[in-house]
């Protein structure tokens, strides 16, 4: 019976006694209640009918407890046990058969009906309670996951911003170093001419030699800077382009909403995993998407799409028709557009059409895309908007 199984389960619980909330304790309490009520029947003379009526009603208490604690099986178990112990009392102490003491036997039937119905209702209540608890637990897990993702996105945003500053500083240093090369060469030439015209024994001849050595040292330093920039390596790993796009869109969503900009994603499910430097590609996407958002100060629509197709391996091979599978990512805005006279200079270092721009954003994007063997193109119409297209082959040549 259910009661016996529950008692056995309770006995396997913690050592040192049963806890009131344990199934074994509850089962024992129900059984003990029924036994005590039955003993009260058997030990009370039948002349005291009022007491017997009270005892008979007391059977409903353990039946209710069994139904509430153990459901239908608990309710029926308690009602059946009550019936088994109460029936002999009717038959032998009262000496009445089923047809003479009909109301007493009907009470036994009522025991079982109440046990079954109450147990069924209790099971439904417990089912709903468990469902709500599971839902609450799932919501809590979802909240924790959302919080965890938010923290990861925050870290990713800080890393991207830091990478942007480092890339801008590197581009600045490379450009400045390159601009120093020509005048430094002219200075060295002028010093060598002066050195040839001064007698080696002259007191200022030593200063000219020091000047030439320092110029050579500066030249080596500048060449080292340029060599470091030209040999910058990518840290490739397997990643999914669509996921990189979604991460950047999540980061820029608050800024877009604040500007009244709606973002539309049209990412193809056919896009496959690629070997990319995910940090640098995200940095490039961040630059392009931020540019699009800043180009729409009065709101607008930013559309980001991805497509898996055959593309040229790199810009130099585009004319030869050599292609391979890759992804095309486009970012299109409905902003102010770029003037026609600025299109030829838009990728030049330090050239910008924005009042507070550094002029390095698209330059960095182009370097990143080309380092991956890809191609960056831009189309724009003043007053209509701008479309930036990034083509990345699966494997760089």
Write the pLDDT tens digit of every residue in 282-333.
888 988 998 899 889 899 999 999 999 988 655 444 445 567 889 999 999 9
The pLDDT of residue 96 is above 60: no
Q: Where are the alpha helices (DSSP H) in the chain?
A: 2-11, 23-43, 49-58, 60-88, 102-197, 205-230, 241-258, 278-294, 361-371
Average pLDDT of span 233-255? 87
Conformational region of residue 44, where left means phi above 0, alpha means psi within -120 to 50, and beta covers everything else: beta
Other beta carbons within 10 angstroms of residue 31's beta carbon come to 20
Average model confidence (pLDDT) across the chain: 78
CB–CB of 13/19 below 8 Å? yes
Phi, psi for 349 (deg, rounded to 5): -65, 140
Answering whether pTM is above 0.85, one says: no
Average pLDDT of span 361-390? 88
User: What CA–CA distance (Å, rounded) separates 210 from 204?
Assistant: 10
Q: In the numeric block, which tokens belong to residue 194? A: 């002066």
Query: pLDDT value at position 220?
Result: 67
CB–CB of 302/331 below 8 Å? yes
Query: pLDDT value at position 308?
Result: 94
The pLDDT of residue 388 is above 60: yes
Q: What are the beta bridge partners of residue 300?
A: 261
pLDDT digits (tens, 9 = 90+) for 19-32: 566 888 888 898 99
Average pLDDT of span 198-214? 75
Top mean pLDDT of 15-19, 147-151, 256-260 is at 256-260
Q: Which residues have CB under 8 Å from 206's CB, separation 6+?
A: none
User: What CA–CA distance (Å, rounded) separates 29 from 24?
Assistant: 9
Query: pLDDT value at position 222?
Result: 66
Assign 173 a pLDDT band (cuts: 50, 70, 90).
low
Using CA atoms, how far residue 178 sits from 129, 171, 359, 365, in Å, is 72, 11, 17, 20
The pLDDT of residue 6 is above 60: no
Nearest partner of 331 among 281, 389, 372, judged by Cα? 389
């Amino acid at each position: 019976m259910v009661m016996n199984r529950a008692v056995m389960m309770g006995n396997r619980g913690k050592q040192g006694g049963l806890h009131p909330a344990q199934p074994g304790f509850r089962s024992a309490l129900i059984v003990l209640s029924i036994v005590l009520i039955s003993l009260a029947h058997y030990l009370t003379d039948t002349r005291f009918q009022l007491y017997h009526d009270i005892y008979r009603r007391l059977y409903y208490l353990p039946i209710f407890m069994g139904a509430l604690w153990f459901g239908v099986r608990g309710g029926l178990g308690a009602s059946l046990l009550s019936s088994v112990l109460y029936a002999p009392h009717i038959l032998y102490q009262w000496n009445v058969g089923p047809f003479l003491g009909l109301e007493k036997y009907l009470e036994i039937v009522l025991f079982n009906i109440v046990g079954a119905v109450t147990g069924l209702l209790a099971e439904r209540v417990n089912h709903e309670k468990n469902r709500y608890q599971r839902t609450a637990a799932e919501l809590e897990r979802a909240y924790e996951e959302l919080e965890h993702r938010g923290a990861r996105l925050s870290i990713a945003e800080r890393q991207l911003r830091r990478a942007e500053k480092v890339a801008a500083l590197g581009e600045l240093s490379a450009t400045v170093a390159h601009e120093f090369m020509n005048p430094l060469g002219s200075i060295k030439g002028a010093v060598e001419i002066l050195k040839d015209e001064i007698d080696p024994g002259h007191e200022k001849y030593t200063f000219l030699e020091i000047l030439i050595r320092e110029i050579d040292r500066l030249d080596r330093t500048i060449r080292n800077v340029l060599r470091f920039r030209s040999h910058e390596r990518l840290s490739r790993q397997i990643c999914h382009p669509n996921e990189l796009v979604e991460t950047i869109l999540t980061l820029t969503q608050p800024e877009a909403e604040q500007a009244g900009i709606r973002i539309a994603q049209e990412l193809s499910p056919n896009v496959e995993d690629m070997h990319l430097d995910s940090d640098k590609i995200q940095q490039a996407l961040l630059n392009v998407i931020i540019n699009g958002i800043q180009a729409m100060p009065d709101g607008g629509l930013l559309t980001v799409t991805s497509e898996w197709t055959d593309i040229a391996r790199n810009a130099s091979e585009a004319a030869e028709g050599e292609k391979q599978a890759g992804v095309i990512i486009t970012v299109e805005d409905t902003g102010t557009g770029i003037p026609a006279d600025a299109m030829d200079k838009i990728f030049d270092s330090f050239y910008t059409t924005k009042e507070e721009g550094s002029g390095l954003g698209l330059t960095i994007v182009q370097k990143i895309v080309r380092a991956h063997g890809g191609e960056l193109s831009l189309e724009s119409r003043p007053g209509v908007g701008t479309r930036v297209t990034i083509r990345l082959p699966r494997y760089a040549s």
